């Protein structure tokens, strides 16, 4: 059994939900020789997050942005932490609701995502940044 | 160290939250010989999800269904994606809030769930489907 | 490759969000010899949870408590499960929204948290308890 690990920088994206499945797969070319294992993707930030959802219709990702803006409103006068503007505290809360990592089985030499599943980068700041993610895979080379 | 992996189909369930702990444990009989490790359960869908919560009182699972229906309402006129009906986009959002996998340590040869913890299948569609999950365990056979 | 595992009890804390990064790191001294791997922290409870967020400004953690109290209100007459008081069912729901585990890559011999990331214990009960967590790390001793 082996562990592979790769840190990559995702280019800056506008606020919203973005498919990054291909970028993740391309970062781990070794996975193609692998039969069975697990892949984890971790984001090193507290105002952006990762999740898995629908990979086809772009309006799903627009609805995610709309929903999370309603569920975690800006401008709540009860926020104490707003140093970096009205999107600051909501970005932290959205990141906690969605999570800082996703883990996906590797099966038959590929990420075992369902037909409609893709990996989302969730950018919660108005002015995103380059975002650093770490991809780690632990694997057998034979089927067990 | 070894990786075990098993894909299983969960029979169709009605919309709501359902305990599947026993089905997961039965799918990995090898775990009983194991001392220390980790088990991940991944669902290959974007309108159903997995989480860990209270395993005893069925009203907890009814309250989950009630709460998530209020927190992610159907019929919001701002949804753009509604091809498959009013439960379509809310199902995607609930799945993202709850997550597509759970990971549980293996300790002393069994899943180290707390006394009150069980694994929930969260079915967010009115008409559920057979749902495919992948169970992966990576383990030592000796205590370290 | 090796798996390390440690169960620790976190002392009782008041309801709210608490940084436990140092306690987690201190529980796994072996990690310092490690080059590459993964660390998972799992909480064995259904009314407390774990997440990763901002590690510097304490008002962020106060805003988390404020937000989650609004997002998951106490006293909803639709709750069926309230045996242990008004904070009972909301605690279960908050725990499911935030999750029962976090997973963090190990890179260059340390937890690869971003500059601003810390591990939160999220105590959702009015009268918290000693909380049991299991820390599991699986690692290579050489860089791959």
Q: Which of A64, A73, B91 is nearest to C70 (CA)?
A: A73
- Average pLDDT, whole number, for chain A? 93
**Backbone φ, ψ for residue B61 (5° rounding):** -70, -30
> How many Å lie between the alpha carbon of C31 and the closest alpha carbon of chain A?
15
Of B80, B97, B136, the CB nearest to A59: B80
CA-CA distance, B76 to B93, in Å (whole number)? 13
Q: What are the start-end ranges of the H helices in A74-135?
A: 88-98
CA-CA distance, C81 to A137, in Å (whole number)? 41
The pLDDT-based confidence of C144 (bands split at 50, 70, 90) is very low
* Neighbour-count burial of A118, counting CB atoms closer than 10 A to its CB (0-12 exposed, 13-18 middle, 19+ buried): buried
- Per residue in C7-65, pLDDT (tens digit) is 999 999 999 999 999 999 999 877 666 789 999 999 999 999 999 999 999 999 999 99
> How many Å lie between the alpha carbon of A71 and the closest alpha carbon of chain C?
8
- Per residue in A97-112, pLDDT (tens digit) is 999 999 999 998 899 9
> How many Å lie between the alpha carbon of A25 and the closest alpha carbon of chain C?
18
Q: Pairing relation of β-strands A131-140 and B16-19?
A: unpaired
Of B3, B78, B132, the CB nearest to A66: B78
Q: Is the pLDDT assigned to residue C143 strictly greater than 70? A: no
Question: Looking at residue A128, what is its pLDDT?
Answer: 79
Q: Spell out which chain A residues touch chain B, with contact meaning CB-CB distance below 8 angstroms.
A: 1, 36-38, 51-54, 57, 59-60, 62-64, 66-67, 71, 97-99, 102-105, 107, 112-117, 120, 138-140, 144
Task: Count, in order, helices (H) and strands (E) of chain B.
Answer: 3, 8
Q: Is the pLDDT assigned to residue C95 strictly greater than 60? A: yes
Contact C68, C91 (CB under 8 A): no
Q: Is the pLDDT assigned to residue B143 strictly greater than 60? A: no
Of C3, C44, C89, the CB nearest to B112: C44
Question: Looking at residue A131, what is its pLDDT?
Answer: 98
Contacts of C138 in chain B (CB under 8 A): 1, 38, 138
ipTM of the modeled complex? 0.96
**CATH classification of B19-133 is 2.60.120.460, yes or no?**
yes
Measured at the CA of B63, the angle between CA B58 and CA B65, to 5 degrees, comes to 100
- Per residue in A12-39, pLDDT (tens digit) is 999 999 999 999 999 987 766 678 999 9
The predicted model scores a pTM of: 0.97
The verdict on a CB contact (< 8 Å) between C67 and A71 is no
Tokens coding B38: 């980790």
C-alpha distance from residue A108 to each of A140, B34, C59, C143 (Å): 11, 24, 47, 25
Question: Looking at residue A95, what is its pLDDT?
Answer: 98
Nearest CA in chain B to C41: B105
Of B3, B42, B89, the CB nearest to A37: B3
* Neighbour-count burial of A128, counting CB atoms closer than 10 A to its CB (0-12 exposed, 13-18 middle, 19+ buried): buried
- Average pLDDT, whole number, for chain C? 93
Domain positions in chain A: 19-133
């Amino acid at each position: 059994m082996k562990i592979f690990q790769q840190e990559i920088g995702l280019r800056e994206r506008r606020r919203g939900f973005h498919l990054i499945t291909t970028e993740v797969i391309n970062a781990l070319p070794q996975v193609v020789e692998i039969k069975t294992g697990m892949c984890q993707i971790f984001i090193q930030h507290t105002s952006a997050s990762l999740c898995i959802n629908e990979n086809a219709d772009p309006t799903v990702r627009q609805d995610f942005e709309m929903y999370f803006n309603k569920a975690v409103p800006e401008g709540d006068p009860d926020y104490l932490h707003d140093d970096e503007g009205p999107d600051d505290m909501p970005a932290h809360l959205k990141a906690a609701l969605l999570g800082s990592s996703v883990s996906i089985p590797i099966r038959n030499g590929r990420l075992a995502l369902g037909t409609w599943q893709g990996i989302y980068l969730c950018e919660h700041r108005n002015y995103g940044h380059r975002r650093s993610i770490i991809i780690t895979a632990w694997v057998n080379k034979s089927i067990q």
